[in-house]
Chain A
């Protein structure tokens, strides 16, 4: 597994900021054990945006929680600049990894005003005076495009987009290196979505931020991610540089995800698989490590697919997939 992780990284000046090694997280549901993460390895390089894509239950939020340190893995390791942070991390380590969550309606405590919300991280991670904290709150609000006059307001007086901006300000407050973006725009209007994404891109450039962008929507990450990791049932099924992964999907699940994006141009339309696919997960039993996790839903399964979980194989140095019968460029035309 580790060799695979390394082979993906071309010898570059980019140092790895976060390395995830064979991370596993099992949950017990009744008498059954479900693996939200079934051995995920991943490198996140400084200043990059890595998108983690998958449907509900694919383990993408669980992965984010492991990196944030609010949940612990069953096995595996997380390294930050080479230091292990899997089990414990100190206050400064906490400072360096922040989060923006999905719902603008629950991400801010309804009983606390914006100043209280934003002063908390400042008070924990700096020794600014009351006065300085207040100035910093005003500054943070301006950075994310919210008027500093809103400082004493409560979240219910703000729109969804404004709330996400405040959540972003809270994430920026401790001056982090990494922000885990857990579907930060999925509950917003499309127009608001675009503006928040634009803000994220600007902030990344300004503060040299590294993003882990968790989403179920490939179209959102297309323009902002450097690398995309596709998760299915806790397994990495495909990963690669964004352009490659979009132009040449290899795993059938990724092809399905891509086909669900509404497109406007003919070249894009040609990439879509012709076969119909069933988006419903209901009644699909997860396979238990004996076969390809995607087997029950795959229209292209071959006999080999039942023999163990397929390993990640490299198609190009920057593109890997875990499919025994991958969609090749030629077959795309036949279909």
Chain B
């Protein structure tokens, strides 16, 4: 059943891009590590409240491949646990933003008139505010918790889905199959979610994948600015920020989490590009 995927047309087209296959492989490794972090990491207890002042700021060694941090925690362990948070942030943020944005875009594009005006002007306002500034403002007002951070990013992200879906819905609204569904007497709900949405899924899925990388990047940037996940939860952005203070002596502190961010963002981008060419869309 699962192996059947490798015989499908879709896989054939996806696999014609070697980089996309590489990205997918990379992604599998990252997800595998994140999910099995308690089993795979050498010092799982270092992910929480743990201090070992006899073993602080050690450079990479056989015991600690990525070295140890300022309170003696294993950096490798914390990077792998950092992926957990990053992936959760990515999926939760987009899990909130994408359905909201897609639904609003569908309604505005299909219904037109007042729906169009109201929804799209609000969207424009959100799009006009620089993303990071908006997120910083939200986090400045609200308590600095993981939930609020996720909400701030979701608030920031939905307009992009609305805009994209709106434009495509406008193009599909007068397609003959939509007209045919209206003539037959189908409800708006049916037309929006059963007739139009399936035709938009390829581009929504592609954007979703690409955005997972970007959301992780922005979340890291917010953490770097001190607005992200609170310690001691291991977070890649915060780790880079902490390590940045002690340069160039303790290079391993920011470099490994930095590389980890690079790899996950790269993986999502390569997969996203692969999906885009698989669905046959131009740039």
Given contacts A101-B176, A103-B176, A106-B176, contact A111 B183 (CB under 8 A): no
Are B183 and A68 within 8 A (Cβ)? Answer: yes
Are B184 and A94 within 8 A (Cβ)? Answer: yes
B190 interfacial contact with A, CB 8 Å: yes
Most chain A C-beta atoms within 10 Å of own C-beta, residue among B182, B185, B190, B195:
B185
Q: Which residues of B contact A329 (CB under 8 A)?
A: none
Interface of B, secondary structure class, is helix
Within 8 A of B (CB), among A17-34: none
| A109: contacting residue among B182, B185, B199, B201, CB under 8 A | B199
Are B183 and A70 within 8 A (Cβ)? Answer: yes
Most chain A C-beta atoms within 10 Å of own C-beta, residue among B176, B179, B181, B195:
B176
Give B188 Cβ to nearest chain A Cβ, in Å. 13
* Interface residues on chain A, number (Cβ under 8 Å): 27
| A124: contacting residue among B185, B194, B199, CB under 8 A | B185
A149-B52 Cα distance, complex, nearest whole Å:
70
Q: Which residues of A contact B199 (CB under 8 A)?
A: 109-111
A110-B198 Cα distance, complex, nearest whole Å:
9
Are B185 and A95 within 8 A (Cβ)? Answer: yes
A98 interfacial contact with B, CB 8 Å: yes
A83 interfacial contact with B, CB 8 Å: no
B177 interfacial contact with A, CB 8 Å: yes
| A120: contacting residue among B175, B176, B179, B186, CB under 8 A | B186
Within 8 A of B (CB), among A70-121: 70, 91, 94-95, 97-99, 101-103, 106-112, 120-121
Are A107 and B185 within 8 A (Cβ)? Answer: no
Q: Taking CB as reference atom, which chain B residue is nearest A92? A: B185
Given contacts A110-B199, A111-B198, contact A91 B180 (CB under 8 A): no
Most chain A C-beta atoms within 10 Å of own C-beta, residue among B177, B183, B190, B194:
B183
A211-B179 Cα distance, complex, nearest whole Å:
18
A103-B174 Cα distance, complex, nearest whole Å:
13
Are A120 and B181 within 8 A (Cβ)? Answer: yes
Q: Which residues of A contact B190 (CB under 8 A)?
A: 120
Are A107 and B176 within 8 A (Cβ)? Answer: yes
A97-B179 Cα distance, complex, nearest whole Å:
13
Interface string of B144-181 (1 = CB under 8 A from A): 00000000000000000000000000000001110111
A153 interfacial contact with B, CB 8 Å: no
| A107: contacting residue among B177, B182, B186, B201, CB under 8 A | B177
Give B76 Cβ to nearest chain A Cβ, in Å. 45
Most chain B C-beta atoms within 10 Å of own C-beta, residue among A69, A99, A108, A174:
A99
Q: Taking CB as reference atom, which chain A residue is nearest B178? A: A109
Q: Which residues of B contact A319 (CB under 8 A)?
A: none
A108-B184 Cα distance, complex, nearest whole Å:
13
Give B99 Cβ to nearest chain A Cβ, in Å. 19
Q: Taking CB as reference atom, which chain A residue is nearest B179? A: A70
Q: Which residues of B contact A174 (CB under 8 A)?
A: 184-185
Are B184 and A170 within 8 A (Cβ)? Answer: yes
Give the A-B pair count, Cβ closer than 8 A.
56
| A112: contacting residue among B185, B198, B201, CB under 8 A | B198
Are A70 and B175 within 8 A (Cβ)? Answer: no
A309 interfacial contact with B, CB 8 Å: no
A167 interfacial contact with B, CB 8 Å: yes
Within 8 A of B (CB), among A149-178: 167, 170, 173-174
Q: Which residues of A contact B201 (CB under 8 A)?
A: 111
A106-B195 Cα distance, complex, nearest whole Å:
12
Are B198 and A70 within 8 A (Cβ)? Answer: no
Within 8 A of A (CB), among B104-126: none
Give B193 Cβ to nearest chain A Cβ, in Å. 12
A167-B201 Cα distance, complex, nearest whole Å:
24
A97-B183 Cα distance, complex, nearest whole Å:
8
Given contacts A108-B177, A109-B177, A120-B190, contact A99 B195 (CB under 8 A): no
Are B183 and A109 within 8 A (Cβ)? Answer: no
Q: Taking CB as reference atom, which chain B residue is nearest A69? A: B183
A195 interfacial contact with B, CB 8 Å: no
Give A166 Cβ to nearest chain B Cβ, in Å. 11
Interface string of B177-219 (1 = CB under 8 A from A): 1011111111000100011001101000000000000000000
A178-B222 Cα distance, complex, nearest whole Å:
62
Q: Taking CB as reference atom, which chain B residue is nearest A105? A: B176
A109-B190 Cα distance, complex, nearest whole Å:
13
Interface string of B245-281 (1 = CB under 8 A from A): 0000000000000000000000000000000000000
Q: Which residues of B contact A106 (CB under 8 A)?
A: 175-177
Are B185 and A121 within 8 A (Cβ)? Answer: yes
Given contacts A109-B195, A110-B199, contact A101 B179 (CB under 8 A): yes
3 tightest CB-CB pairs across the interface, nearest first? A111-B198, A94-B185, A109-B177
User: Could you jot down 23 A-B contacts, CB within 8 Å?
Assistant: A68-B183, A91-B185, A94-B184, A99-B179, A99-B180, A99-B183, A101-B176, A103-B176, A106-B177, A107-B176, A107-B177, A108-B177, A109-B198, A111-B198, A111-B201, A112-B194, A112-B195, A112-B198, A120-B181, A120-B184, A120-B186, A124-B184, A170-B180
| Residues of chain B whose beta carbon lies under 8 Å from any beta carbon of chain A | 175-177, 179-186, 190, 194-195, 198-199, 201
A70-B183, A107-B177, A121-B185 given; name 15 further pairs at CB < 8 Å: A69-B183, A94-B184, A94-B185, A97-B183, A99-B179, A99-B183, A101-B176, A102-B176, A111-B201, A112-B194, A120-B184, A124-B184, A124-B185, A124-B186, A174-B185
